[in-house]
């Protein structure tokens, strides 16, 4: 089975889906930029989107998602910023592609196109190639629409991100095994295996303080939450742990919030054989 889901699904909801026979999900991730996600009115942010990708990797759920661009007044520099974090995410399922936003009938982008800032909304050109009917009738029948978005990102603005995504996908689909960043519990710590292109070392043993930070940051945490660890660990231990984890790329930091990136071993609910029955079918 396959479901479209919101990208703020927590681990327990995902586990329930996996145990119910769901093997693939399509979350509404759409972007890795907080300002652009706000423009899209997604109700989530970058770290929640990455948390979902990490949790799906742990559970064995396949993920189908895309990076969308082309929104009115979007800050185009955000796509370069997204490209910079891609190497940290190589162990997570990559997007299908980076594509310009499509306006679907019944979606807010279509129903409220003028208010959001889309102009000259019209049916996809392909409709007119198939149906020889008046434009007004075509607009009443169509489901997919194009629209012009003033001050939106250009193809050139997406160049770095497209290149980064291409490398990301190559690591997953052109190599025998996709890269990993996973943590194995051992006596009082974690053995972390890292085969990403940014890996500092293939294996690392996280100490007690580093384990505490990684566990706390399973969901995005602000710096004040991390300071509370000093109640049972020293301030120096917490600061040292944060510096170590960030330098190794085990934490994704955004503003004053941090998210743990390693996938925990031993949580898999869906195996590779179950994922092989791709829910969309295949193009022959």
Distance between CA atoms of 7 and 154, rounded to whole angstroms? 26
Within-domain flag for 137: no
What whole-number distance in Å separates Cα of residue 54 and Cα of residue 56?
5
Residue 134 lies in a domain: no
Tens digits of pLDDT across the chain (284 residues)? 788 999 999 999 999 999 999 999 999 999 999 999 999 888 899 999 999 999 999 999 999 999 999 999 999 999 999 999 999 999 999 999 999 999 999 998 999 999 999 999 999 999 999 999 999 999 999 999 999 998 999 999 999 999 999 999 999 999 999 999 999 999 878 999 999 999 999 999 999 999 999 999 999 999 888 888 888 888 899 999 999 999 999 999 998 899 999 999 999 999 988 888 777 766 66
- Is 253 within the bounds of a domain? yes
What pLDDT does 282 receive? 66
Q: What is the pLDDT of residue 276?
A: 84
Q: What residues does 189 pair with on adjacent strands? A: 186
Q: Is residue 131 part of a domain?
A: no
Sequence-distant (6+) residues with CB within 8 A of 75 are 33, 35, 36
Domain count, the chain: 1
Contact yes or no for 66/30 (Cβ under 8 A):
yes
Residue 129 lies in a domain: no
Exposed, middle or buried by CB within 10 Å (0-12, 13-18, 19+), for 75?
Answer: middle
- Indicate whether 7 belongs to any domain: yes
pLDDT at res. 281:
67
C-beta pairs of 152-156 under 8 Å, 24+ apart in sequence: 152/69, 152/70, 152/71, 152/72, 152/73, 152/74, 152/76, 153/69, 153/70, 153/74, 153/76, 153/79, 154/76
Q: The domain containing residue 198 runs over which residues?
A: 2-101+149-275
The reply to whether 237 falls in a domain is yes
pTM of the model: 0.93
């Amino acid at each position: 089975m396959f479901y479209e889901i919101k990208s703020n699904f927590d681990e327990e909801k995902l586990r329930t889906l996996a145990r119910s026979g769901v093997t693939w999900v399509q979350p509404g991730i759409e972007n890795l930029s907080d300002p652009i996600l706000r423009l899209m009115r997604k109700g989530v942010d970058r770290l929640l989107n990455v948390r979902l990708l990490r949790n799906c990797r742990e559970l064995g759920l396949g993920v189908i998602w895309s990076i969308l661009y082309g929104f009115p007044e979007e800050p185009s520099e955000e796509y370069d910023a997204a490209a910079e974090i891609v190497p940290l995410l190589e162990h997570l399922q990559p997007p299908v592609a980076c594509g310009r936003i499509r306006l679907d009938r019944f979606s807010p982008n279509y129903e409220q196109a003028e208010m959001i800032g889309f102009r000259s909304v019209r049916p996809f050109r392909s409709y007119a190639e198939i149906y020889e009917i008046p434009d007004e009738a075509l607009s009443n029948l169509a489901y997919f629409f194009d629209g012009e978005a003033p001050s939106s990102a250009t193809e050139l603005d997406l160049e770095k991100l497209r290149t980064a995504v291409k490398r990301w996908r190559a690591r997953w689909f052109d190599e025998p095994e996709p890269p990993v960043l996973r943590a194995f519990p051992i006596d009082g710590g974690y053995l972390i295996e890292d085969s990403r292109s940014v890996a500092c070392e293939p294996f690392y043993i996280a100490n007690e303080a580093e384990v505490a930070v990684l566990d706390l940051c399973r969901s995005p945490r602000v710096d004040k939450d991390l300071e509370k660890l000093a109640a049972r660990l020293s301030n120096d231990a917490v600061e040292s742990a944060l510096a170590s984890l960030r330098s190794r790329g085990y934490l994704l930091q955004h503003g004053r919030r941090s998210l743990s990136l390693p996938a925990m071993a031993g949580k898999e609910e869906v195996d590779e054989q179950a994922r092989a029955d791709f829910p969309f079918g295949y193009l022959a």
